[in-house]
């Protein structure tokens, strides 16, 4: 028995759509992921995609499966112009992994403009990771100021409307310090030079006139 025109058309469209969906399922663009390890020497991470894939078993039943660990993904740090902000990603950090439209192997090894080492596209092998993405269970409080801080809120550098605030247990400065303007000291906070608090220091060898005093004691 032959099929009518509409029946043949419907079958063709369904086959086309099915084939298109199958092709689209092999194109990777971006995924949230979870950091498994950090390679400091190469500035890369191994990470596991946080969204499971779907496979169909021999009985035609769809099953969710965890995707394989993505290896040696370069980490995107904020930087440029000879400056940057760098940190060590920790195991369990959430991130977003971006999959390059073309193979990144030659570029990653040598930098500059390179030929494609392999003719793959949107592949799981070509991930680049931006650390800092957060799911709802891992959100932290933020406010209107620009802040660099730890998750616990114990150490904070805050910048807002011309004011810089630093919260820390200790502050160490290496090198010379030039201060233009006034320094105000609140009770309970002291400046220390060579282990001697400025608030209570004394000088030796003090004489009248233009003589120079001795060392701080």
Q: Span 27-139: which CATH code?
A: 2.40.50.230
181-203 pLDDT, tens digit each: 887 766 555 666 666 666 666 66
Are 194 and 217 contacting, i.e. CB atoms less than 8 angstroms apart?
no
Whole-number Å distance between alpha carbons of 130 and 95:
6
- Overall residue count recorded for the chain in this entry: 217
pLDDT of residue 201: 65
List the one residue out of 180, 200, 175 whose CA is nearest residue 190: 200
The pLDDT mean for the chain works out to: 86
pLDDT of residue 187: 56
Q: What is the mean pLDDT of residues 37-42?
A: 97
**Confidence at 210, pLDDT banded by 50, 70, 90:** low
**Residue carrying structure tokens 């500059």:** 112
What secondary structure letter does DSSP report for 151? T
46-66 pLDDT, tens digit each: 999 999 998 888 888 889 999
**Confidence at 1, pLDDT banded by 50, 70, 90:** very low
Whole-number Å distance between alpha carbons of 195 and 65:
59
Q: Sketch the domain layout of the chain as residue ranges.
A: 27-139
pLDDT of residue 20: 74
- Burial label for 120, CB within 10 Å (0-12, 13-18, 19+), is middle
Percent of the chain with pLDDT over 90: 60
Task: Give the highest mean pLDDT range of 13-27, 141-155, 180-194, 202-216.
Answer: 141-155
Q: What is the mean pLDDT of residues 130-156?
A: 94
């Amino acid at each position: 028995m032959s099929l009518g025109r509409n029946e043949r058309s419907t079958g063709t469209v369904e086959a086309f759509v099915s084939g298109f969906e199958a092709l689209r399922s092999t194109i990777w663009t971006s995924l949230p992921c979870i950091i498994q390890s950090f390679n400091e020497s190469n500035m890369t991470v191994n990470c596991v995609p946080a969204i499971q894939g779907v496979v169909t078993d021999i009985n035609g039943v769809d099953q969710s499966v965890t995707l394989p660990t993505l290896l040696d993904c370069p980490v995107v740090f904020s930087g440029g112009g000879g400056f940057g902000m760098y940190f060590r990603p920790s195991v369990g950090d959430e991130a977003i992994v971006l999959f390059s439209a073309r193979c990144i192997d030659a570029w990653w090894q040598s930098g500059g403009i390179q030929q494609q080492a392999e003719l793959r596209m949107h592949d799981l092998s070509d991930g680049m990771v931006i650390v800092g993405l957060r799911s709802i269970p891992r959100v932290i409080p933020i406010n209107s100021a620009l802040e660099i801080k730890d998750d616990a809120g114990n150490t904070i550098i805050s910048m807002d409307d011309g004011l810089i605030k630093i919260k820390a247990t200790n502050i160490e400065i290496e090198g010379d310090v030039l201060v233009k303007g006034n320094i105000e000291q609140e009770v309970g906070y002291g400046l220390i030079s060579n282990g001697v608090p400025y608030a209570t220091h004394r000088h030796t060898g003090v004489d009248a006139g233009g003589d120079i005093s001795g060392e701080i004691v």
